Structure 1
Amino acid sequence: MSALWTAADLCAATGGTGGADVTGIAIDSRATVAGDLFVALLAERDGHDFVADAFGRGAACAMVTRDMPGGPCLRVADTLDGLTALGAAGRARSRARVVAVTGSVAKTTVKEMLRHGLSAQAPVHASAASHNNQWGVPLTLARQQPGAAYAVIEIGMNNRGEIAPLARLAQPHVAVITNIGTAHIGHLGSEAAIADEKGDILLGLTQGGTAVLPADSPFFASLAARAKSQGAAVVGFGEAPEASARLLGFTGSAEGGVAEVSLHGTHLTIALGAPGRHMAVNALAALAAAAALGADPARFAASLADFDAVAGRGQRIALRLAGGGQALLLDESYNASTASIRAALAVLAAQPARRRIAVLGDMRELGEHGPALHAGLAADAAAADLVFACGPLMAGMFAGLPAEKRGAHADDSATLAPIVAAAVRDGDALMVKGSLGSRMAVVVTALKGLSQ
């Protein structure tokens, strides 16, 4: 395999010394493979403590701030700065058309739709998992292969001021804002402040770029004005009459749906392999972005028929129960907001099942808004036949349910998981959702353990 970065390239990009030719980049020693550059980041633990493990797994080089035994080292003043510089160099040498995606919810889903649909037309490089933060974005850019025709970069945030430097690093030709919601409102204070932060993705747009914006959002006009002031073209997507990419109609089923859309006046039909009206809107955002990148919209739309929701974001898992029979698990455990929980509950309601069971964990980073936002979900959750709740905030939602809908509440997912698993019966459909910090994946693991 040819080098992704030569030793000379690494030194030129980072200002470091030493180095070796490498074929990949890793920041987790456990995920390191032969030929990788292992970057010893300083996080909860010092990455230098894992350099020996990385070399033991075949790393060709380690980016470090001090001499380390075991193999060739690229010595830099700061490893995060070094990785960021390497990401910038990766972007500078790339000939790919780049799209960056942010938003309160659906970032990863839209990113994966773009990866899936664009891959049917040309080589694509995209963020792995949810690598969307101060180390994830440069890592994605640094890993980009020279032959990629398209690059899809996910950009997230927790606090004000985090998106702008990442957007400027990515320099997208197309920037997508999926929506503006209450995620991280505890840190930013208001949805208007969230809109301002999400809008900072526009600061990275290349000259003559395109902004793909949620036309149904109350913040659409201000975001569009901001984009136009920077010389960007604006494509609104959604159900609003003025949307350039407009959802004309949607017919849903338990496993997917069919969306009728208009893209710049051209009618297209999108068969979706993942259920929910919100998935049709996500597909519309992806379609608009793909067209702005120069991809064939009709081919892109056709490719979404076999797009499956990814793990933690609506993945469907059939459970074959030990005592006989089957149940369906909808894994939404990766993250949660009020909008995404309501969308997931709607998908649960569409499932043909004897009982529809919602398992909901706390939404995080909502600050003083948290109790009211959780309690406000009770009416939506009550559409399920049975509800289990996890965490102190979801206790408020649980208390607002009719008594016959209450399964159980627990303070943590480890306590709740066996209770939910013991309640599963043949013919049930279960949906598990909560913020990452609520660790609802523990419940998902317990439910998977029921399958024989």
Structure 2
Amino acid sequence: MSPLWTSQALAEATGGKASSPFEVTGVAFDSREVTPGDLFVALKGENADGHDFIPKALAAGAGGLLVDRDVNGPFVKVADTTRGLDALGKASRDRTAAKIIGVTGSAGKTGTKEALFRALERMSFGAAHRSLKSYNNHVGVPLSLARMPVETRFGVFEMGMNHAGELRTLTRMVRPHVAIVTTIAPAHIEYFGSEEKIAEAKAEIFEGLIPDGTAIIPYDSPHVALLYNIATRYAGRVVTFGAGDGADVRVVEEMPAERGGTLVTAQLRTARLSFTVAMRGRHWVNNALAVLSAVEAVGGDLAQAGLALAEMAGLPGRGARRKLRTADGGEALLIDEAYNANPASMAATLHQLGEERAGRRIAVLGAMKELGGLSESLHAGLADAVKEANVGLAVLVGDEMAPLADALAGDVPVERAKDVSEVLEFVPGRLANGDVILVKGSNSVGLSKLIEKLAMSEVA
């Protein structure tokens, strides 16, 4: 394997000084994730100093260290390791000839990023790169850039934010050829006050576009005009996607696929394409349109992208589906949406639940965080989606769910739980043959623990 970085290249990129010659094949800032050959970046956080974990990183096989002091082991010393990681990310972006795509949005950004990667990886025979997990913040983005091999042909980077100005910094580091906004919803509205302000903050992604770059925006959003007007200041071309007749990339026809998912015929700017979206739910059709818009913008193979969408299985925490053995000897279906939640994604996945064939539909819904003064109304506002999904039991987790419980009273059976520990006690034993159970909530609620416990009964 050719080196990702040499000590000389690291020193030149960061303005640091190497202790000795060495090479690394990867980059990590969490000692628990270090694999043999990685560069371990010793970041200083509020509660911990990465330098304290250097022995653990070396024991895991780290091939080099980025540090701010002399240490045992091969290293490059810089004045500040956080700034050093930023510089390394920027240097990686400077040296690549890859087409770069940036993705943001209130919901769907990780799924869209993963689908784009799979499409581009397929058509480039493995020469695509993307940010792993949800590494989309001020340390995750430069890390993802720093990990990009020089031979990369396509790079896909997720960018997130919960305050104005954050995306501006990230996108100027990524400098995308294509910038996507998946959707606008009241996620993190506590910090913004209105959806319009969220839309303005998401539109910061366009500020990093290279000259003549492409902005891709959701046509069906009530904020499409705002996004369009901002995008035109920075983009050479603005492409809209959605179900509406006026969208540049739009659905011409769709129907349920035999084995789940959706058969779609879409009109793109330069072609018409029929394909299958394996992931279930109307929101995934929308994500697929964004993916195809980006593939078309970078001159990619649309047919290969369609095949990638047909082969894409559910992602852990974002739609993965598992069959579970129930106490009565039958089977239940688990839909794992436990990674995160906001009002838009909650409504979308509840709609998906309503389309599932089931003896009984169970919705385990965790509180949605960072909604500020709108929390009560937005939680209560999920009642219609729960009712329309014909939910037979709603398990509501967290104090913030009280308004939804009140709104469902008399219409849907409700169980309340203060936290995930209570849910672990009674939910697994309640499943019966033919049940479909949806688990969704903000990541901090910890419903992933319920997923782990339920997975212990997964049918092999």
For residue 262 of structure 1, report the CA deviation from its aligned partner: 0.7
Q: CA deviation at 1:282?
A: 0.5
SS of 2:3 mapped into structure 1: coil
The letter of the residue matching 1:364 is: K
Cross-structure match for 1:288:
293
Return the match for 1:56 from 34, 46, 59. 59
Root mean square deviation, CA, Å = 1.4
**1:195 and 2:199 matched:** yes
Does residue 13 of structure 2 align to residue 10 of structure 1?
no
Find out whether 1:313 has 2:318 as its counterpart.
yes
Report how far residue 51 of structure 1 moved: 0.8
Q: Residue 225 of structure 2 corresponds to which residue in structure 1?
A: 221
Q: Match for residue 441 of structure 1?
A: 448
- Equivalent pairs counted in the alignment come to 451
Does structure 1 retain, via aligned residues, the 8 Å contact 2:200–2:226? no
* 1:396-435 pair list within 5 angstroms: 396-403=403-410, 405-435=412-442
State how far apart, in whole Å, the 1-side matches of 2:266 and 2:161 are. Answer: 31
Letter in 1 for 2:381: G
Q: Is the 8 A contact 2:199 2:226 kept in 1?
A: no
Residue 303 of structure 2 corresponds to residue 301 of structure 1: no
Q: Which amino acid aligns with 1:398?
A: A
User: Which letter maps to 2:282?
Assistant: R
| Cα distance in 2 for residues equivalent to 1:295 and 1:265 | 12
Matches within 5 A, 1:52-451: 52-69=55-72, 71-122=73-124, 123-252=127-256, 255-264=260-269, 266-321=271-326, 323-382=328-387, 383-403=390-410, 405-451=412-458
1:434–1:231 Cα change, 3 Å: closer
Q: What's the TM-score once normalised by structure 1's chain length? A: 0.97
Taking structure 2 as the reference length, what is the TM-score of the superposition? Answer: 0.95
* AA at the equivalent of 2:385: D
1:250-296 Cα shifts (integer Å, max 9, x gaps): 22357311122110263211211111111101000010011101102
The 2-side partners of 1:396 and 1:225 are apart by 37
Q: Unpaired segments of 5 or more residues in structure 1?
A: none
Q: Percent identity?
A: 42
CA contact (8 A) 2:69 2:77 kept: yes
Note if contact 2:206-2:235 (Cα within 8 Å) is conserved in structure 1: no
Q: What is the deviation of 1:303?
A: 2.4
In structure 2, which of residues 29, 32, 48 is the aligned counterpart of residue 30 of structure 1? Answer: 32
Q: Which amino acid aligns with 2:36?
A: A
Distance 1:206 1:379 in 2: 43
CA distance in 1, matches of 2:450, 2:375: 22
CA-to-partner distance for each residue in 1:218-255, whole Å, 9 max, x for gaps?
22122222222224201000012221101223223573
Q: CA 1:278/1:408 → structure 2, altered by over 3 Å: closer, same or farther? A: same
Structure 2 CA distance for aligned equivalents of residues 42 and 259 of structure 1: 48
Report the CA distance between 1:420 and its aligned residue: 1.1
Cα distance in structure 2, aligned partners of 1:450 and 1:22: 41
Give the Cα separation in 2 of the matches to 1:381 and 1:136: 35
Structure 1 residues 267 and 37, CA, compared in 2 at 3 Å: closer, same or farther?
Answer: same
Deviation at 1:329, TM superposition (A): 0.3
- Asked whether the equivalents of residues 96 and 151 of structure 1 are also in contact (C-alpha less than 8 Å), the reply is yes
